[in-house]
Amino acid sequence: MYRSHVMVCAGTGCTSSGSAPVAEAFEREIASNDLAEEVRVIRTGCFGLCALGPIVVIYPEASFYSMVKAEDVPEIVSEHLLKGRPVTRLLYDETVDAAGTITSLEDTPFYKSQMRIALRNCGVINPENIDEYIGFDGYQALGKALTEMTPDEVIETILDAGLRGRGGAGFPTGLKWKFASGKRGEVQKYVCCNADEGDPGAFMDRSILEGDPHVLIEAMAIAGYAIGASEGYVYVRAEYPIAVKRLQIAIEQAKEYGLLGDNIFDSGFSFDLQIKLGAGAFVCGEETALMTSVEGKRGEPRPRPPFPAVKGLFQQPTVLNNVETYANVPRIILLGADWFKSIGTEKSKGTKVFALGGKIKNTGLVEVPMGTTLRTIVEEIGGGIPGGHKFKAAQTGGPSGGCIPAEKIDTPIDYDNLLAIGSMMGSGGLIVMDDTTCMVDIARFFLDFTVDESCGKCTPCRVGTKRLMELLDKITEGKATREDIDKIDELASFIKENSLCGLGQTAPNPVLSTLRYFRDEYLEHIDNKRCPAGVCKALLQYKISPDKCVGCTLCARNCPVEAISGEVKKPHVIDQDKCIKCGVCMEKCKFSAITKG
């Protein structure tokens, strides 16, 4: 029995910040201080506060250390583990009050409004140890399903719980399973997992795979039992090496324990799982394109119907859900439908995981009950906007979603409310923007991503998004007219209505939502040739205030194109025809005499 557990985050974020040397330093110091039989080091998954890595949490005190370096470890071992005195200077500041009293991490604003279901084991267990997963009720749901429930009862439980797909459209998970459940034992069926996660700024599924891979294996086996499938495929992008490694380890362990393979729990049910690596094509997040890619073909969408539940992978009935959707399944089977549907809103049950990024203090991974307001996520959990700036908008749903303006900050976040205001849930990326953000530029950024990721199969998406992009370029370059806005509306509607798959059908959403809520900003670009946020380079002008300029010549000496002239100790001027708008002059000026606008 260990008296202390040192939990070192080994997710992608903390690993990139140097958590591996920190864990190794702990192991060395613990051994050199003869603590190896008393203290255990565990490499675990993401704790959520990604910007604070490397993160170390020491139990039983639950002391939360942030931005730990290998050179800090001897002090932590000496003071905390040997003398029982936490190293206050390294603790996360919100766990230490003004009097120096250390509070629980769960009482911090970041955590206290959260409710972890899909992320419940992330940061808690060693993801490479099946025994730890089993110790936290792991595989009990699979055992219950196989020994106490019929396949139809499993489906009815998921239906009754109201679980909807967490990958984008929010289709009822139980209904999808029910459609695929016919002719059990008569035809080959498949269970697939979309772990491709291509939205910019989205890392929910990756973090679950890195921190709790067995939950996916258990859930997919339950889905296989429910629909009568004996094989499953996890489609995960190759750029997720930590997730792929841990999932492979978990699959091998599950097979060793008899939890994958033949005759699981002596029930007569057999199920096996394979990993398929994707090459990072965004369009392969669309279900038919994903299945085409798994089959070894070019990842392009197919017309629907027939839907995958009827004719999917290898032309056989197939169920496809994303990682987060599956991560809810074992808890629903174990705790019941009534427990799950008591969380959330009337039409959106349970919780939702968001990857919180952008202009926000607490960048990271959060899980909140459906119906939590955007204000709670941004101001309480996210810690607000840094630098004294104001909240301007939040983008949900990535390239497929839309912008939520500041006046809608009290909107409860669920599937229907987001659609009503011109956005969508998507997979869960939530990008926060402040008053320094240009909304035209944001729309252009997401559309540019979609243009690059279009598979090119259908003309409305292949050509239409490029023409839409050209119109946005005209606006950001100050070459557009008001008639171009009418063209945008017309073209966007055509693309949405005529594209083959969800990529093209949702590509105009960021443009339409920013036009809806920030039309004045578009018109400022068009009518006054001015970017209010000072972002669009073609519309920028750097100017020197004669009242503040002391003629130090620092700006002129650093200008790469010699666009600044003036005498020593006299105000300087910028030749706008020569200026390349690089901003070096503004960076070098020590008297705040240069502004842009």
Instruction: Give per-residue pLDDT as tens, 337-349.
Output: 999 999 999 999 9
**What pLDDT score does 353 carry?**
95
Q: Is the pTM of this model over 0.85?
A: yes
Strand partners, 63: 58
The pLDDT confidence band at residue 93, using thresholds 50, 70 and 90, is confident
* Whether the predicted pLDDT of 187 surpasses 90: yes
Q: Are strands 269-278 and 231-237 parallel, antiparallel or unpaired?
A: parallel
- Cα–Cα distance measured from residue 26 to residue 19, given in angstroms and rounded to the nearest whole number: 11
- The per-residue pLDDT for 338 is 97
Among 424, 433, 432, 428, which Cα is nearest to 496's? 424
DSSP-assigned beta bridge partners for residue 405? 393
Return the ∠ at Cα 359 (arms to 199 and 473), rounded to 5°. 60
pLDDT tens digits, 96-105? 877 778 887 8
Q: What single DSSP character describes residue 397?
A: S
Per-residue pLDDT reduced to its tens digit, 574-588: 998 899 888 899 999
Averaged pLDDT score across all residues of the chain: 93
CA distance 487 to 85: 66
Q: Is 79 exposed, middle or buried (0-12, 13-18, 19+ CB in 10 A)?
A: middle
CA–CA separation, 329 and 348 (whole Å):
15
Model confidence at 597: pLDDT above 80: no
Q: Please report, rounded to a whole number, the percentage of residues in the chain having pLDDT higher than 70.
A: 100
Average pLDDT estimate for 239-243 = 93
Lowest mean pLDDT, pick from 138-142, 200-204, 269-273 = 200-204
pLDDT of residue 422: 86
- 198 pLDDT above the threshold of 80: no
* pLDDT recorded at residue 400: 85
Give the neighbor-by-neighbor strand order of the sheet with 269-278.
Answer: 261-264, 269-278, 231-237, 190-195, 318-322
Buried-state track 523-562, b at ≥16 Cβ within 10 A, e below 16: ebbbeeebbbbbbbeebbebebeeeebebbbbbbeebeee
Look at residue 562 and tell me whether its pLDDT is greater than 80: yes
User: Which two structure tokens, joined as six digits, stand for 43?
Assistant: 């490499």
Q: pLDDT of 5-43, one tens digit each? A: 999 999 999 999 999 999 999 999 999 999 999 999 999
Task: Quick: pLDDT tens for 43-85.
Answer: 999 999 988 989 999 999 889 999 999 999 999 999 999 999 9
Q: What is the mean pLDDT of residues 286-296?
A: 93
Can you tell me the distance from the alpha carbon of 207 to that of 354, in angstroms, rounded to the nearest whole number?
A: 11
Of the ranges 164-173, 200-209, 326-335, 553-562, the best mean pLDDT one: 326-335
Mean pLDDT of 456-471: 94
**Taking residues 282-297, what's their average pLDDT?**
91
pLDDT tens profile 382-426:
999 999 999 999 999 888 888 999 999 999 999 999 989 888 887
